[in-house]
Amino acid sequence: MAVLLSLFLSLHPPTPKPKTLDPKSLPQPLEPSISKRHLILKTASLFSTVAILTLQYPVPQSSAQAPPKPSPLGVVNTKSWFQYYGDGFAIRIPPEFQDNTEPDDYDAGTSLYGDRAKPKKFAAQFSSADGSEAVTVVISPTNQLKITFLEAKDITDFGSLKEAAKIFVPGGANIYSARTIKIKQDDGFRTYYYYEFGDGVQHLALFATVDAGKAFVSGAAAPQSKWGDDGVKLRSAAISLTIL
């Protein structure tokens, strides 16, 4: 099930101010079925569908090609960037990116009818000023990504890096880079899977790990035409994800 990729494909950051956008310059939809209202922030849409559609609809196993051999991963030091703290995680945000994260509904459940808070699609959601680039974090129960009665405690419970690509990478995507990354924490090492992929129109970097039965997935997306200039910055944002 390409669960997380579907969620990233449906991301909808707030529409930028009309005066700053030229509709003709916006990326075109990947598929005719995507409505025109999604065209304004196509890249963000791509990133968010990865996580949302897959959580709602079963998806066949990905036909994405096998990850190639690891190559040097270009990143920058993000310590000077703003660090956003979410529910059990933290992530660094590129300068000048706008916060589009949905606020928590603290009033839910206090009404006479006991309204329930609507679940947030994104644990964090940021975009560039023109909306063409996005950094997003999604949290999902692991049993919604892979049907199992056991609680996943580590991302390796999804299988190897190649096997887990069936969950995190959409079928038909070109995988440019994939690797296992171990990061030292107070209680030992935590394992993350990193995938970078695209379709020639959009380019995405995805960083995923598991903690206490939940999958934490951060990612960054941009039009392929912009990745050459901004890819290092976006990739660095994606892999700055830290579990608290």
Model confidence at 42: pLDDT above 50: no
pLDDT at 58 over 90: no
Averaged over 57-75, what is the pLDDT? 51
The mean pLDDT of the chain is 74
Q: How confident is the model at residue 87 (pLDDT cuts 50, 70, 90)?
A: very high
Q: What pLDDT score does 11 carry?
A: 40
Does the pLDDT of residue 82 top 90, yes or no? Answer: yes
d(CA 51, CA 122): 9
**What string of DSSP letters covers 125-188?**
EEE-TTSS-EEEEEEEEHHHHS--SSPP-SGGGG-SHHHHHHHHS-TTPEEEEEEEEEEEETTE
Residue 153 has a pLDDT of 87
Does position 72 have pLDDT exceeding 80, yes or no?
no
Q: What pLDDT is stored for residue 13 in this prediction?
A: 39
- pTM of the predicted structure, to 2 decimals: 0.71
pLDDT tens track for 148-188 = 656 788 999 999 999 999 999 988 899 999 999 999 877 78
pLDDT > 70 fraction of the chain, expressed in percent and rounded = 62
| Position 243 pLDDT exceeds 50 | yes
pLDDT at position 139: 95
Give the percent of the chain with pLDDT over 90: 50
Are 77 and 92 in contact, with CB atoms under 8 Å apart? no
Over the stretch 98-118, which tens digit does the pLDDT of each residue have? 999 887 654 544 445 555 555
pLDDT (mean) for 119-147: 90
Of residues 118 and 6, more confidence is placed in 118
Q: Which pLDDT does position 148 carry in this prediction?
A: 65
Domain 83-106+119-243 in CATH 3.40.1000.10? The answer is yes
CA separation for the pair 191, 40 (Å, rounded): 35
Give me the pLDDT at residue 74, please: 86
pLDDT of 214 over the 80 cut = yes
Whether the predicted pLDDT of 40 surpasses 60:
no
Q: What is the pLDDT of residue 86?
A: 95
| pLDDT-derived band at 56, boundaries 50, 70, 90 | very low
Return the pLDDT at 15: 40
Residue with tokens 């994104």: 122
Q: How far apart are CA 27 and CA 125, in angstroms?
A: 20
pLDDT, residue 176, reads 94
